[in-house]
Amino acid sequence: MTGSVLETFCEEINGGDSIGATLLFQLINMSKALVEQRRPWMLLRYTDTSKTVTASTNAWNSAIDISDIARLSRFYGETPIKIFDGTNRIDYYRQVPFNQRLEHRERAFSFVHDAANADIYLNGTVAAGTLWIDHIKNSPDIENTEQSEWVFPSWAHPLLGYMAVAMNKGGIDYDDVNARMAPENQARADQIMRMLENWDNELQLAAISQHDPSGSSEGEWRPNAINL
């Protein structure tokens, strides 16, 4: 559902009344943010490999600028940063508190994140290689054009319309008729959200299904499995 189609959808569920485009798309993008911040959606997980470090130049107080990683929301995973030397060596880095930089400056395989300045610092002795930075992105803002579209499946796009209209009619431009329709619209929005979460659950389970130590799909126990 493109931005233009989403605008029409919002007008229809708003009883045929239009909402100013500037306000509407602010509400749509606010709704989008509320959905995307609910969980680390598989669709929003990325790995950046544009940064490199050398053993001779990197130190605990050497800032690595990550401001150019587009729409970075937050890191994800237990070791969101890896250093890969291009052959066999992989070093895994865990995050520690930025306000404890001095205490951790010699702690190997750890890093701190200066969120205010969009910098990271690697602690301990660092090997040369490419940084693999696992992170969650914010999707691009939705605009009122035929080229703009939410990255989530098209069947979930009405969710943003229901949420945007609810915010408008529930507070900004309260309307008795739409208020009576609110429970029905909320029910549809809840259904879409559950579908979206179930869809993402399946994606996440598929990624880890072969790491389950309990047994194989053929009913045989895998090596080192704990048979309960």
User: What kind and span of H or E run contains 65?
Assistant: strand 64-65
CA 179, chain centre distance (Å): 32
Helices (H), 64-175: 101-104, 158-167
For 187-211, give the DSSP string: HHHHHHHHHHHHHHHHHHHHHHGGG
Position 181 pLDDT exceeds 60: no
The predicted model scores a pTM of: 0.83
| Top-confidence residue, 209 or 18 | 18
CA atoms of 163 and 165, how far apart (whole Å) = 6
Lowest-confidence region among 42-51, 138-147, 205-214:
205-214
Q: What is the pLDDT of residue 166?
A: 86
Paired strand residues for 93: 81
Helix orientation angle between 158-167 and 3-13, rounded to the nearest 10 degrees: 50
Q: What is the pLDDT of residues 28-68, one digit of tens each?
A: 999 999 999 999 999 999 999 999 999 877 889 999 999 99
| Residue in this structure with the two tokens 């865990």, named with its chain if needed | 94
Q: What is the pLDDT of residue 228?
A: 46
